[in-house]
């Protein structure tokens, strides 16, 4: 089948900013995040040879999650100005590759990726990201290509890899976040329930719904403080699951035809030249360096 790569752009930019030491070009612009983003984009294009590519971005406006829960992601430190300034500049690279920029007010990039990954059934989808929130989207034809430490340590996740890491099935990952919460996004979950307990409960009951359906029945796990906390925070558990669930119904209109990877080397070279990325130009697929004129020939 043909391949579609969906890029979680903000996650990749954030990862690159912290993985690569500060770099500036001759215009005194900081470019470490732009360079890292461009480098991983080239890696994907060269190694995976996708037929279609789309770059999803978060918008600065509040999303529906923040409207439902004001504390959502409120624990995160303010992004450094040096990072914020580089985010829109990466779009110049994306445009150079003629890759569509996918944004939607009120939604996160993950929601756009979730919607499009499920929309196109007859392609293999690879989600390029710097975090693991999108693991819940995995299906037979959908995998997650995650950057781990730095920019070169990567792993492709399918159902098997998720089971190896968490001991859970794909459809249990949202329940896992409902119970445990997600500290990185400030999703509370059930107070006092950590990673091991959440996994234990899901292995025993299969889902949050089944857990609460059987919460008053005698069980070797459901007792004492844990039972009290599960009962006390039931509403928050289901609310946390809702916050952690990636939406699959973003009203974004795009087609595979629009996502077709079709760029001109001169356009990409121009974008790279803008940031003085000479070392990246030679990595362009199909790029041929200009030949030096033969001695004695006219220039």
Would you state the pLDDT for residue 76? 83
Whole-number average pLDDT of the chain: 93
Do 144 and 187 lie in one domain? The reply is no
Do 135 and 226 lie in one domain? The reply is no
pLDDT band at 291 (very low <50, low <70, confident <90, very high): low
Q: Model-level pTM?
A: 0.93
Do 144 and 91 lie in one domain? The reply is yes
Tell me the residue range of the domain where 266 lies. 3-163+253-281
In a domain, 293, yes or no: no
Which has the higher per-residue pLDDT, 154 or 294? 154
Query: Residue 136 pLDDT > 80, yes or no?
Result: yes
Do 230 and 268 lie in one domain? The reply is no
In a domain, 294, yes or no: no
Instruction: Check which CATH number belongs to the domain holding 230 and give it.
Output: 1.10.150.20
In a domain, 297, yes or no: no
Q: What confidence tens digit (pLDDT) does each residue in 56-65 have?
A: 999 988 899 9
Q: Count of domains in the chain?
A: 2
Q: What confidence tens digit (pLDDT) does each residue in 234-278 have?
A: 999 999 999 999 999 999 999 999 999 999 999 999 999 999 998
Instruction: Check which CATH number belongs to the domain holding 116 and give it.
Output: 3.40.50.1010
In a domain, 146, yes or no: yes
Q: Which of 95, 11, 111, 12 is nearest to 53 (CA)?
A: 95
Q: How far apart are CA 98 and CA 93, in angstroms?
A: 9
């Amino acid at each position: 089948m043909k391949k579609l790569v969906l890029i979680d752009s903000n996650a990749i930019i954030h990862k690159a900013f912290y993985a690569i030491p500060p770099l500036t070009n001759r215009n005194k612009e900081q470019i470490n995040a732009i360079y890292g983003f461009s480098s991983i984009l080239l890696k994907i294009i060269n190694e995976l040879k996708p037929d279609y590519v789309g770059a999803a971005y978060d918008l600065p406006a509040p999303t529906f999650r923040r409207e439902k829960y004001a504390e959502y992601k409120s624990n995160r430190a303010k992004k450094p100005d040096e990072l914020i300034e580089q985010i829109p500049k990466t779009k110049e690279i994306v445009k150079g590759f003629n890759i569509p920029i996918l944004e939607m007010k009120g939604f996160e990039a993950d929601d756009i990726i979730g919607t499009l990954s499920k929309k196109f059934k007859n392609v293999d989808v690879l989600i390029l990201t710097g975090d693991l929130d999108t693991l819940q989207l995995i299906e037979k034809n959908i995998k997650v290509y995650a950057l781990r430490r730095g920019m070169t340590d990567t792993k492709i996740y399918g159902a098997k890899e998720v089971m190896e890491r968490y001991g859970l099935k794909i459809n249990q990952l949202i329940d896992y976040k409902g119970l445990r919460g997600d500290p990185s996004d400030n999703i509370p979950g059930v107070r006092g329930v950590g990673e091991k307990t959440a996994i234990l409960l899901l292995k025993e009951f299969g889902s949050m719904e089944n857990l609460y359906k059987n919460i008053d029945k005698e069980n070797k796990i459901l007792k004492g403080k844990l039972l009290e906390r599960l009962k006390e925070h039931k509403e928050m558990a289901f609310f946390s699951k809702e916050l952690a669930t990636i939406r699959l119904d973003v009203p974004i209109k795009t087609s595979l035809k629009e996502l077709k990877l079709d760029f001109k080397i001169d356009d990409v070279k121009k974008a790279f030249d803008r940031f003085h990325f000479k070392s990246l130009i030679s990595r362009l697929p199909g790029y041929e360096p200009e030949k030096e004129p033969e001695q004695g020939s006219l220039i």
